[in-house]
């Protein structure tokens, strides 16, 4: 004969725990920024450099695997650029600049880069190349930047692990 | 969680005759377990998806177009050439290029810098080489503390030199 143990009814007050969890949840929800969809799928090369990419005043030149080039600016630069333009058709074309526009040729790139720099002089140029892209594609971009006198720029990489 | 006092308190001080019986408090206990479960799930989701890291960048300086000629001593100039298949050739001054594996680069740079602290490095990558290779070599150059470094285009002359080495 086994006698059933008398159950002790324990009631734990969960209120403080819930409060803390709620706080954490709010924090994570507020700080999370879903990564915006990239106009090109780019796998970055790795490096041991520890300089962080600034969050504002950045203009990104994307070079994807096949050598297609996209230009992307932050919202502020895009706004300044649109405001500086007087041509409505051109303003329209800047609308998607913060999502990335495909660059037709090197002249198109140099034109846009110069205008963005005029609109926002604090702009920093970064080049984000796919690791498997041919060096020649990067060299073309570099030559264009050199032509428009941007001799200081940064390459976006991922931190090397191990 | 928070109790709300629905008035009534201010009336207490009034006449005796009006004295109302204090309402009986109904003890409501809400089972919070399902809510906590959902919140926990959300919390885990956000904690796992949040990435605090921002991408790294590597600073690079290129000379302006109207280049002024700088004369350097031949022995101070280290040229690295990367060919199509990723092989690295190095030469100092005008000597013949020699292949070097990527893994040996770091030690090589450190040794060279020790002998010649004023070493200048010129990196030439073939247009058909990969961008990754260039970034990796630049990374090694930065790590070794080689600050006098420049990128140069890989010309036909370089191609011929490498061909000669391969043939020999």
ipTM of predicted assembly, 2 dp: 0.71
Statement: residue B10 has pLDDT above 70: no
| Chain B CA closest to residue A159 | B56
Angle at B80 between CA B78 and CA B82, to 5 degrees: 175
Chain A contact present for B132, CB below 8 A? yes
The answer to whether the CB of A59 falls within 8 A of the CB of A77 is yes
Chain B contact present for A156, CB below 8 A? yes
Query: Over the stretch A150-159, which tens digit does the pLDDT of each residue have?
Result: 888 888 888 7
Chain B contact present for A91, CB below 8 A? no
**pTM of this prediction exceeds 0.80:** no
> Quick one: DSSP state of residue B11?
G
Cβ-Cβ contacts under 8 Å for B68 (sequence gap 6 or more): none
Give the residue-averaged pLDDT of A85-89. 73
**Coil, strand or helix at B124:** strand
Dist CA B98 CA B133 (whole Å): 18
Chain-chain contact of B135 with A145 (C-beta, under 8 angstroms): no
Interface of A with B in 92-121 (CB under 8 A): none
3-state helix vs strand vs coil in chain A, percent to 5:
40, 20, 45
- Counted across chains A and B, CB pairs separated by less than 8 A come out at 151
Pairing mode, if any, of strands A152-159 and A46-47?
parallel
Interface test with A, best of B27, B58, B82, B84 (most A CBs within 10 A): B58
Chain-chain contact of A152 with B50 (C-beta, under 8 angstroms): no
């Amino acid at each position: 004969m086994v006698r059933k143990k008398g159950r002790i009814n324990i009631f734990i007050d969960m209120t403080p725990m819930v409060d803390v969890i709620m706080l954490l949840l709010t924090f994570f929800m507020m700080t999370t920024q879903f990564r915006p969809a990239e106009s090109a799928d780019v796998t970055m090369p790795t490096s041991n450099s520890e300089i962080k990419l600034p969050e504002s005043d950045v203009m990104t030149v994307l070079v994807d695997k096949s050598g297609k080039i996209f230009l992307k600016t932050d919202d502020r630069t895009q706004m300044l650029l649109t405001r500086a333009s007087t041509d409505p058709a051109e303003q329209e074309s800047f609308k998607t600049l913060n999502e990335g526009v495909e660059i037709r040729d090197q002249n198109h790139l140099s034109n846009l880069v110069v205008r963005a720099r005029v609109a926002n002089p604090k702009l920093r140029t970064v080049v984000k190349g796919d690791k498997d892209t041919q060096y020649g594609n990067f060299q073309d971009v570099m030559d264009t930047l050199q032509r428009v006198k941007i001799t200081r720029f940064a390459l976006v990489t991922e931190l090397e692990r191990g | 969680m928070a109790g709300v006092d629905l008035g009534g308190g201010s009336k207490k001080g009034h006449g005796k005759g009006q004295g109302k019986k204090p309402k009986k408090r109904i003890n409501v206990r809400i089972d919070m377990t399902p809510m906590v479960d959902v919140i926990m799930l959300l919390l885990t989701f956000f904690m796992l998806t949040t990435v605090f890291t921002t991408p790294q960048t590597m600073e690079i300086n290129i000379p302006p177009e109207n280049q002024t000629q700088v004369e350097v001593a031949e022995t101070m100039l280290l040229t690295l050439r990367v060919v199509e298949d990723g092989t690295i050739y190095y030469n100092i001054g005008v000597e013949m290029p020699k292949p070097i594996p990527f893994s040996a680069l770091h030690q090589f740079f450190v040794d060279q810098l020790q002998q010649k602290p004023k070493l200048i490095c010129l990196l030439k990558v073939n247009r058909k080489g990969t961008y990754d290779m260039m970034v990796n070599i630049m990374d090694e150059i930065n790590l070794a503390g080689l600050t006098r470094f420049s990128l140069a285009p890989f010309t036909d002359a370089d191609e011929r030199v490498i061909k000669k080495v391969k043939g020999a």
